[in-house]
Structure formats: C-alpha cells, structure tokens
Structure 1
Amino acid sequence: MKAEIIAIGTELLLGQIVNTNAQFISRECAALGIDIYFQTVVGDNEQRLLDSLRLAASRADVVICTGGLGPTQDDLTKDVLATLTGRNLVLHEPSMEAISEMFASRGIHMVESNRRQALMLEGSDPLHNETGLAVGNALTFEGTHFVLLPGPPKEMKPMFTKYAMPWLQLRMTSEVPLYSKMLKFAGIGESNLEHLLLDLIQSQTDPTIAPYAKEGEVTIRLTTRAHAEAEGELKLQATEAEIKKRLGEYLYADQDVPIETIVLQLLVASKKTLSVAESCTGGLLSDLITTVPGSSESFLGGIIVYSNKLKNKLLGVPMNILEGEGAPGAVSSETAVILAEQLLVRTGSDFGISVTGVAGPSPSEGKPVGLVYVGLAQKNEKTEVFTLQLSGNRESIKLRAAKRALYQLWKQLKEN
C-alpha cells in the first residue's frame, strides 16, 4: 500500500513548530509494510487543503492527515474531507459527553465551538482520543483509506498506535513490513564511504543500501522486507558482512546510537576513566559525553582552556611553547601532547583527550581555519597526536573535531 501524509497547519509553514508527526507516522507505517511515498504540508486554507486531499487520493491508497481537528474556525480538516466525499458531519455522542464532563469537572463554561471536536464524518469509524478532546476519523472513500488524526503529538501518537494502526491492518492485504538495520561509522566522510561501497550501492536490489551523514558521523541504512526480525537479519547478513569487511575500522555500532554512547560503554566495561581538555571545542566534547546517562561512572570531567593564560596556569603548557617567535603555538601538536598528558597527572584519569585548533571564521597564529590537533594520552603509553584538516563553518568544525576525538578514543579502547 502506498501512503501520503498531509500535515495541516499554517504554523508548520511559518516554521513556528517542527513537523515531528510525519517522522513518527513514517516509521510506524514502515513497520506495517505501508510505503510512504509523499509528505505534504498545507496551511489552514480550505481550497488548498481540498486540492491536497484530491491529489493525495489520486496517487495513494492511504492518506493520513494530522492537525485541523480542533474547535476553532481554522480547524478545517473534517469539513474539507466532508466536501470531498459528499458526506455530512455528525456528532459522536461519546466524545461529546467526554468534552462536556471535562468542562463541568473544571467548572468552566463550554462555548459552542467545542462541539466541533466531537464531529465526525457520517459513516466513518471514530478513533478514540485518550489524551485530548478531538475525536479522530477513519473511512474509506472510492478505494482510498483516509485517517484523520489530531496535531498535538501527545494526542496523535497514542491514537495512531492504538486505534489507527489496527484499523489500517484490517484493510491491508499482502503487505510485508520493512526491516531496517543501521550501521554507524566515524572517522570517515560520507563521500569516501560511498566510494568504497559504490559497486554495492549501484547494484543493489534487495536489501537496499542508503548512506546518509550527520556532522562527524555517517550512517548506512540496510533495508529489506521481512515478516519477522530473524528473517530480516538473515536477508541482510551477506550485505552487512561485506560492508564490515571493507569498512570495519570505521564501524563503531550496528544500532542507531552516537559514538559517545559506545565510548562510554567501553570505558565502563573496562573500568577506565576519562578527562578532557578543550580549547577550540569550548566544552562541546564534554557536553557530548555527559549527555550519555551514567557517564559519571567513567568521565571525571573537563577543563576548558581557551586562552593561552589558562593553558599555562591550569595545565602547565610553557609560555615559550604557546607564544613568541618560533614557538609552535597554541594550535600545535606540542600543545596537544602537553594538555593531554597533564590531564593524567592532574586528574588521575586513565585516558586524557585534548583538542586545540582553529574553528574560524578567521585563521589564527597564521594557521588555516579547520586545522585541529587531537591529543590522546593513556597511562603508561606513548601519547598520540592526530592532525585534522576539517571543513565547514565554526559550529561544524567544533562538532567534527569533538566526534573525531571520540573516534580516536574508540579505536584505542577497541585495541585494548
């Protein structure tokens, strides 16, 4: 079955709220075996919504609408679908009773417009709203299944999961659910990763291979159709094994998690601790680490040494290294080494990571934007320094530097 999602609300077009409903519905439909072919956003305009519904009905078996079920005059979804289908709107008595009881229990006078939330299309099936007032609707018209859901996610999600999904399943024939697996990579860019897998991507049939990038990480989504997870795993096995063979040194997880989560898991498992010294990343590395629940088990803390004065005062980098004619400078491998090694001395951690570089927008110390040095110190081991030349704006460079530092620690933990 082919499906289209129509999100209704001028506030979506104005960017005042983010359309997270489409993401949720798409994911749930994939699990059912329903393919989302289109996503549409339309404002609170009767004619444009009517045009959108007509177009969706012409090209989809299922049309799922979110929004426009409320009490105000700009909540038009049921009215417009009534026009399209030639049906009347009727009162759903159980919903009207729930609305009346809610207002009475709060001692609030109910204005007449609230009755609109209890209206449904004649001959449709009501979808119970457990967390709000507006009743949902589901109906089939001229071979197209329409599902009307409220806009607020706290109302939409339970209604879709508990009522709309079973309604759709009864109308499905031989759909086989999609099964996807995520492979997560760090330390390699999207273009390089795609180049190494180009023959597999170009010849793909089943499973499909889809690479996409976030800042500092790359994900490959493997997808097939399978009735059960075990069947899906079996169908993905050969393709996954070939990808791991080619890119194993960059593959940090076979689930959709950020690299900081895996690094913390490895630190906890090995009973090792970490501290960090940050210059150009300005605390971002520490922030990534501490977003992981339980990070306090292994993460001792971070020091932001943005100025040369603090690099010298807090972590003992000599001023003749940082400044002066012929000095390596703050952005140097020498500074990265001292920062990382002094972390071990002053915090007692097992690992110390330092990051120093030029995030931009202008060069510094005569060094180009994007030049970053990552120091990795470990007790009783020689300190390593990794020289990076990163691209992007200031925010991108900071995030890519932090992620690359985590990647280098991940490699070290895996080797250990």
Structure 2
Amino acid sequence: MKAEIIAVGTELLLGQIVNTNAQYLSQELAAIGIDVYFQTVVGDNMDRLQEAVRLAQKRADIILFSGGLGPTQDDLTKDAIAAVLGRKLHIDRLAMDKLEQFFRNRGVVMTENNRRQALSIEGATPLENETGLAIGDAIAQDGKFYVVLPGPPKELKPMFENQAKPWLLQQALSGKEMPIYSKMLKFAGIGESALETRLLDLIQSQTDPTIAPYAKEGEVTIRISTKAASESEALIKLTATEAEIQQRLSEHMYASEDVTLEKVIVDLMSKRGLTVSAAESCTGGMLMEHITAVPGSSVMFQGGIVCYSNEMKMKLLNVPYDYLEGDHAPGAVSKEVALVLAEQARIVMDSDFGLSVTGVAGPGFSERKPVGLVYIGIAERDKETEVYELNLSGNREAIRLRSVKAILYRLWRRLMENEKLSS
C-alpha cells in the first residue's frame, strides 16, 4: 500500500522547526510494509489543507497527518479532513473528561478554546494521547485510511506506536503487506559519484533488493532493502547483495551497519590494545573531537596537541625551525612538517599511532599555498611514517571536516592491512 504524510504547520514552512515526524513515520511505516511515496508540508490554512487532502487521496491509500490539533483557531487539521470527507466534528467525552481533570488538578480555569483538543471526526476511532491533551483520530472511508496525529514528537510517537500502528495493521493491512527489511553499508575514502560508477550495473538492474546510495560530508552510505515474509528470508537476499558490493568496494566499506568510521576505529583499536595520539594544526582539535565523542575512546586515545602556531609546533612537538621559517623552508603546510608532527605526537604521548594534520582551510592563502592543500600523516611504532597530500574543495568548515574524515579513513586502512598481515 502507498502512503503519504502530511505535516501541518506554518512554522514548518518558515523553517522554525525541523520536520522530524516525517522521518520517524517513514521509518515506522517501512517496517510494516507500507511504502511512503510522498511527504507534504502545508501551512495553517483551511483551503490549502483541504487541497492537500484531496491531492493525497488521488495518490495514496493511507494518509497520515501530524500537527494542527491544538486549541487555537489556526489548528485546523481535523476541520479540513472532516470537510473533505463530508463528516462532522463532535466532542469525545473521554478526552473531554481528561481535559477538565487536567485543569482542575492545576487549579486553573479551562478556557473555551481548549475544548478543541477533545474534538473527534464523526465515525472515527479516537486515538488516546498518553503524553498530551489533543486526541488523534483514525478513519476508514471509501478504501482510504486516515490517521491524524499531534505535532509534538513526544506525543506523536507513543500515539503512533500504541494506537495508530495497531489500528493500521488491523484495518488497512490485515496481513496483506510484507515488511521492509533494510541494511546500511558505510563507505569512506570514496565519493558518491565514484561509488555509484563502481556499482552502476547493480543499481540499473536492481529489482529486489533495491540499492540506494546517499552521501554525507566525507562518507557515503548505501541502503539495501527488500520485502520479505520473515527476517530470515530477508537476510538471505540482503546478504547476497551485500557480498557483491563488498567484493567490489572492500577497500572502502568499513561497516555493514549504521555506525561512524570513528566508532569502528575506536572499537578496533580498543579490542587490539592499541593507542593513538594526534597533532592538529588547521583542524584545530576536530580530529580529537571526533575520536573522543565515541564512548570508550579513553581506552585507546592517549591525547593530542593543537599546534596552530609555528611557535607551538617547535616548542611542543620539536618541529625544526628550518622547516618552518626562512626562504627555503618547506613551511608549516608541507609533507616534512606533517611527518614530524605525526612522529612526535606518537613519541611524546607514547602511543602506537600518531596522527597529524596541517593545511590551509581558508578562506585565504597561507604561505602562498592554495586553500584546500592539506597534509595528513600517520606514524606507527616500528614502521615507516606515511604522509598524504590532499587537495580539498569547499569552504573552511568543509575542508576541516574532510581532512578529519580522510585521516580517519587512512588509519582504518592501516589497521585493516595490519590485520591481514597478522592473520
């Protein structure tokens, strides 16, 4: 069955709040086999609300609404639905009793407009609001199913889980739809377009499972999904597709679940009893922040130094003056300095690995070197230090983040290579 989600509220259109309800409902509906084809946001306007309902009726079997159930005159969701369906509104007695009791307990006189929160559409199944006052509604009419939910997530989520979902399963689905099962594959060190090119034949010929890539800054995720009667049946199909993708992109696929690269690294190093330290210049501590944001990172992270100035590079990490100053010096943004920073970070903090980042994040040139030129270094105990040159695009924040993602990827690759050698 096809579904559409209609989020109601002018504040959504103005960007004053983020529509997290649509994300939650889409995930929940997919889990019970309902495909969400459209998401609509409409303001608090009766004509436009009715228009949105009529349009959704033409293209969806199930229509879910969030928001517009409050006590004020601009809370019009039920009014609009009732008008389109040719039904009346009435006061639900149980909801009204709860409202009156709420105000009595507070010692406050209930204003007349609060009665709107107890309104229900004629013939609807009222949906109890466990954490708020405005009730929801569930309606079946002419082969269409309507679910009306409040806007605040703390009210919407329990109402959907405990009231609306059971109603949908009984009234709309009745075992007709198979649930959707998905798996997330995570990649680093490759862009979305390059990844898609490597998988183009699979994507173009996909039927079941489906393959959907999407990118975040510095990483790419692939979601593979299938409909199946049981989790075990789904796992067979998902595993086969995952194996094919992993075979093609093993040097970039770092996880087969929705976790961050830094989480994978922290777990790997903690398990093996390895430690790491860092020296950062242009990223200003962002690398350390990514690592230490992972719970349990204290086991493997020794510490770090933000050496923004040349003086701190020399004083704290023993970078030679001749590398930093003078007509023939390679400069702070150089392979030579990245190498010393990585090695000294490892030595000073007595860790198994030392990481370094130095570069030009912008907005202007530094040492007459272009914005986006970054050097990252990885020093490992008893092994030769490696330095990589990056030529990154984007604004200052993007360059800093991409630098962090790049060195984390290189560290992960080193850990994987070491594992292969030891096995």
- TM-score (ref. length: structure 1): 0.98
How far the C-alpha of 1:175 sits from its partner, in A, is 0.9
Deviations 1:83-139 (A, max 9, x none): 111211111111111122222112222111111111101110011111111101000
- Paired AA for residue 341 in structure 1: E
Deviations 1:336-394 (A, max 9, x none): 11111111221122211111111122222222221111111112221111111112221
Q: Which shifted more, 342-351 or 9-18? A: 342-351
How far the C-alpha of 1:250 sits from its partner, in A, is 0.7
Which residue in the other structure is 2:280 paired with?
A: 278
How far the C-alpha of 1:202 sits from its partner, in A, is 1.4
Which residue in the other structure is 2:306 paired with?
A: 304
Which residue in the other structure is 1:408 paired with?
A: 410
- Paired AA for residue 283 in structure 1: G
SS at match of 1:132: coil
**What CA distance in whole angstroms lies between the structure 2 residues aligned with 1:294 and 1:237?**
30
Asked if residue 269 in structure 1 is aligned to residue 271 in structure 2, the reply is yes
Deviations 1:203-228 (A, max 9, x none): 11111111111111011111111122
Deviations 1:277-332 (A, max 9, x none): 11111111111112211222211222111111211122111221012111111111
Contact 2:304–2:345 at 8 Å: present in 1 too? Answer: no
Q: Which shifted more, 368-377 or 249-258? A: 368-377
Which residue in the other structure is 1:370 paired with?
A: 372
How far the C-alpha of 1:235 sits from its partner, in A, is 0.9
Which residue in the other structure is 2:144 paired with?
A: 144
Asked if residue 294 in structure 1 is aligned to residue 302 in structure 2, the reply is no
Asked if residue 10 in structure 1 is aligned to residue 10 in structure 2, the reply is yes
**What CA distance in whole angstroms lies between the structure 1 residues aligned with 2:326 and 2:196?**
44
SS at match of 2:173: coil
**What CA distance in whole angstroms lies between the structure 1 residues aligned with 2:267 and 2:27?**
27
How far the C-alpha of 1:142 sits from its partner, in A, is 2.1
Which residue in the other structure is 1:89 paired with?
A: 89
- Paired AA for residue 258 in structure 1: T
How far the C-alpha of 1:6 sits from its partner, in A, is 0.4
SS at match of 1:40: strand
- Paired AA for residue 382 in structure 2: N
Which residue in the other structure is 2:196 paired with?
A: 194
How far the C-alpha of 1:74 sits from its partner, in A, is 0.7
SS at match of 1:349: coil
Superposition pairs for residues 17-416 of structure 1, below 5 Å? Answer: 17-170=17-170, 171-173=172-174, 174-416=176-418
SS at match of 1:292: coil
**What CA distance in whole angstroms lies between the structure 1 residues aligned with 2:299 and 2:94?**
52
Contact 2:12–2:18 at 8 Å: present in 1 too? Answer: yes
SS at match of 1:70: coil
**What CA distance in whole angstroms lies between the structure 2 residues aligned with 1:133 and 1:330?**
61
Percent of pairs identical after alignment? Answer: 62
- TM-score (ref. length: structure 2): 0.96
Which residue in the other structure is 2:421 paired with?
A: none
Ranges of 4+ aligned residues in structure 1 off by more than 6 Å: none
**What CA distance in whole angstroms lies between the structure 1 residues aligned with 2:197 and 2:370?**
27
**What CA distance in whole angstroms lies between the structure 2 residues aligned with 1:54 and 1:366?**
61
- Paired AA for residue 247 in structure 2: K
